[in-house]
Structure 1
Amino acid sequence: MFVFFWVTLLFSVWGSKANTDMLAGGKQHCTNGFCVTLSEGNITADTGHSVVIPCSFTTIDDFTPLYILWFKCSPSKIRCEYADMIFHSNKNNRHAQSILQSGFQGRLSLLEPDVSQRNCSIMINDLNESDSGSYQLRLNGVRRGTSDIFTFPLRAIVSVKDVKKIEITGDRSVKEGETLNVTCSVDSFPPSFITWTKYSEESIQNVTGDNLQNNTEMDTLFISNVTTEDSGQYICTAKHLNNTLMEKVIVNVIYKRTPLLTGDTTVTEGETLNVTCSVDSFPPSLITWTKLSSNTILHNNTGSASLVISDVTTEDSGQYVCTATHLNTTVTLHADVTVTCLLKILSSSRCEVQSEVLTCVCITEGFPLTTIKWPLLESHTKYSVMTTVSDHTVNSSIILSVKDHGYTEVECVASSDVGEVKRNLVIIKTDQEVGLLRHHGCYSGVLFWAVAGSSISVNVLFIICILGLWNARKKVNPNEENRTYMSLQKPDPSSEYEVIALRQN
């Protein structure tokens, strides 16, 4: 627009000077000592521009001109009426200013405001086709001390033509890597001079096309293998004689980049999950979030969409799907969300020894599920381990003989992907016949005799105890999500003991 303003101003000034120069060769017409000089023939101009009607006058000696008035009316009228007035040089005459034709208000001005200079040239700005017609001059003045007027019969004829329009052809949206081919043309004679420029806030750059045709009549904006940098605003400028036309063209390059997932998919219970799926593309891609195996749309947006869940729980864990749709293509990404809860060993964990048989239970809570280890077992070859899993709780129990032991506490170590915790369980000694295993449906007295018997008896009694516990748990808690693991181990290959593992189906 800045370039267009200065080019327009330049042509307007040039046109004004050219029209003023015509005064010397204009046609003079005198009536009763009043003479006016106007240009011969039609004064031509283009819409949107300015035009100057060159004019000068002389009067009889006893007439003093005070104000200049211009009228526009039909050539069939001998003299224009006040209703046809378009300009009055007396700005203080409110009545005169109020009856001016509304279409001309603010668009006319005298080149020489001083009436005594006998210059009646007037400029009309922002022309339109309705400005075409005949213009008549009238003088208001004083003659022999009395107000007087004189209307010149000679008129100026102005012809305003609509400038030829710029025509833009070709697809302005093209896929990345293809060819851009947009043509700018003007039907005019003589041929218009046409150029392409690319507009940016920093500068205006000339663009060279492969099919220029001497830059006359038409110019083609031709870019092969377009990239996203070729997107933007281009300007076609057509210069025809004293006229300059400009047309803006927005070029869009269609493209799509690989979708991206950002944000932490592992969060702690109670925190806020915030995972963003975004796609750099034009036109912008439609992005939706859903949870796997569910058709419910959690969130959608164009260009970028965030999956936000505040105060998450372990139930929010799972796989979420980001679907990005761009034109006729669809791409999906999966986000595996894990909600962790703090790993801890419950205070209900305990150990007790009875009749030289040690029984310990370690109970943990946390997600992901924990693995419980007993460092004490590293120095023993004969023991029984039972592990039960329910929801986010893991229960591990050990049973082993500790004859002549000096233990006062046993360490329980629980670990998962989010960390590790340890706890020393103080050993409680009891003389009662029923020990800790009573809570599991097995009496320690049986275990005492099992330990005291032969190795074969130990196996048999252990198995009887374990099977009894298994059947009891199966009757009490048949929930299939709960799992129980038991083993009787002796790592020594020469040992006659076998490893037994039972699992609830």
Structure 2
Amino acid sequence: MDKKIFLLLWTSLVFSVRSIISSEGASVLAQPHCNFEYCISVSDEEISAEPGLCVVIPCSFMTPPNFKPQYLLWFKCESSRRCGNSDIIFHTNQNDKINLKPEFMRRVSLLDPDVNNGNCSIRISDLRESDSGSYQLRVNGLLNGYSDGFTFTKKTSVNVRGFRQKPTMTFPDLTEGHQTTLTCSAPALCSTSPPGISWVWRGAAEKEPLINGSITAFKNESLTAFTHRHLSTLTFIPTAELHKSNITCRIRFSDNTTTEETVDLHVNYVQITGNADLKESMTLNLTCMTSLSPAEIQWIKFGSKTNQLIRTSAALNNNTAIYLQEDRSTLLIFNVTAEDAGLYICSSKHLNNTIKDEVNVTVMSNQKSMTALLIRISTLVILSCLIISILWKKMKRTENLQEASEMVACHEDPLIHDGLAEADYQNCIPEGAENGTET
């Protein structure tokens, strides 16, 4: 073959192969290594990869004009010895009964299935540390019409090491009562088997696998022709109890190894606690807690009569006090009256974020309280009388039934009469009958 034509074809081939593998992040092809017009170009540098991900071994080859390629074989063997049949990890002739190394089954694929294009690049998925080693190519075909093959002496080295990449977690601001969605992205893989993605709660939610009807969904996104990103979303409604809990996204790969990422949950919430059902002269004690920090906390009250917005902090008097702390505010109103009843709102503001909670306070007057107490006492007395009356009637009914049964047994049942002893029979004679005269 003319050397100029050979170099032109080789340059075109290498350029096309580099274009195909560039998206895979593989190493750059080295200068061709030729032997009897059989030329191969692989990486001179060791290819590093991480467990669980995938690696592309870039490769291009050319053969003499009188050789027609038919099949490609890849070996993994020790760099100090020649590869043999027991070292085959990939063979393009799927009909050929060749025993491939079992640990590489269904994990190796050819980037370009047409061997005539001269692209011998392979992709190995679901990498393991045991995949580290030297890889060598052989091409089988027809030389002048006869079966033949050539094993290239040039090898390429792969080193699988390091820790697995952790998943990436993203989520918006969490606000109590507002539905939100967390997203977990597994490391980009070119695996034929998608990883398993699971969520694990910690803290307040640990004992509840499903929080407020949480829903998980899975999604795959193609990054390149061979790599994919696997996503899992978790949709739920945050509560104040989940604040300062944490959640873990765990990735399980095909070899049962795992990697995970944990994030702390910060739920924006405002929560009012305290007794809202009062009687006159009692003390109203409400505490407003917030997760916003630092926050501006303010109490607002809607009056029960005026229906106007009243800012409590602007109308302080001797009966009212507000105690502020970093994450809470306590409202005290002493000797409450009916005027203190109404809707109380606590608002917490941090930057441009404002959240609120509310409670309806009722105040019962002393007169109403006494009336309600008398009504309850009267009701209890009436109920007691009814119960006693029912029990008395039931007892009298039981006594009457017993007397009727005795009369029937003595006067109406001849079988019982005949079987009575004399003494027993005498007991059945009506009172005063024993003094009578027999006719």
Query: Which is richer in helix?
Result: 2
TM-score, normalization by structure 1: 0.35
Larger of the two Rg values belongs to structure: 1
TM-score, normalization by structure 2: 0.40
Name which structure has the greater RCO, CA cutoff 8 Å, separation 6+.
Answer: 2
